[in-house]
Structure formats: C-alpha cells, structure tokens
Amino acid sequence: MYRPQIYVNLPVDDLDRSVRFFTALGFAFDPRFTDENATAMIIGEDSFVMLLVKPFFQSFTKAPLPAPGHVGAIIALSQPDRASVDAIVARARAAGGTVNAEPVDHGFMYQHGFADPDGHLWEAGFMDMAAFPSE
C-alpha cells in the first residue's frame, strides 16, 4: 500500500546555523539531499523538513516571504510523553531558540513550543488517548 511522504519546506537565513540548532534537538539529516542550498531534516520514516536558504526557497514561488514576526505556519511534532515535550523545548532554548509561551495542559494533551532561530514556530505535544474525554 502506498504511503505518502510529507516534505515541509522552510526558508532559512543561515543553513549551517539551522543544522546546528536542529542537530542539538536530536534531528538527523539526509546527506543525499544536502548541499549549500538545502538539507533534508528527518522527522520520521515518511516526514521531512527541507531547510532551504532563502534565495533557493524563493526560486520555488513568486509569492513574497512573510515579513519577520509574521507566522505562516506552526509545525507540530508529537512526542512520546510529557517529559519529552519539556526536554525538546529545553534543548531548543539551550540551542538558541526562544520559548514564547508557557506549556498548556489539557489533561489528555500536553503541549509546549518554541521558535527556531529563523522565527518558525514549532509545537511539541503529547496526547494520552486513554485519558481523552469520552462523551
């Protein structure tokens, strides 16, 4: 059975800085899709984030990039437990990211997030389906 892959493309100012940041968060990169313009960050078996230097990113669209401080998307990453949510946010802060909100606890779902050095928003979350409210 065919399983589609997802590739999220993000513009970055400094590819080396982005690779250092996400390496500190525990992510790996596919060297087959890495050069001076781009790299493929491995999120999971079928999920990748393409970090593209802005001029290269801009070659794929005529639309302008969002102005600094504007949000175009929030990338959400599931985590295996609450401690992992807190840990990835702590690693992001230590690696130069910013934490712009307090964690949110919905009982069955716990989430917290950070902005990477380019200002892209990332949300880490854990969902305990056994604790999900039933109707």
**Over residues 12-26, mean pLDDT:** 97
Render pLDDT for 90-132 as a digit per residue (tens, 0 to 9).
Answer: 999 999 999 988 999 999 999 999 999 999 999 999 999 888 7
Reported confidence tier of residue 66, pLDDT bands at 50, 70, 90: confident
Reported confidence tier of residue 135, pLDDT bands at 50, 70, 90: low
pTM of the model: 0.89
- Does domain 1-61 match CATH 3.10.180.10? yes
Q: Kindly list the distances between the CA atom of residue 37 and the CA atoms of 25, 53, 63, 73, in Å, as whole numbers in the listed order.
A: 21, 5, 19, 22
Burial of residue 40 (number of CB atoms within 10 Å: 0-12, 13-18, 19+): middle
DSSP helix/strand/coil, 135: coil
pLDDT of residue 131: 81
CATH assignment of 71-135?
A: 3.10.180.10
Same fold, 1-61 and 71-135: yes
DSSP 66-110: PPTT--S-EEEEE-SSHHHHHHHHHHHHHTT-B--S--EE-SSEE
Domain boundaries, given as residue ranges, for the chain: 1-61, 71-135
Q: Kindly list the distances between the CA atom of residue 70 and the CA atoms of 65, 73, 100, in Å, as whole numbers in the listed order.
A: 10, 9, 14
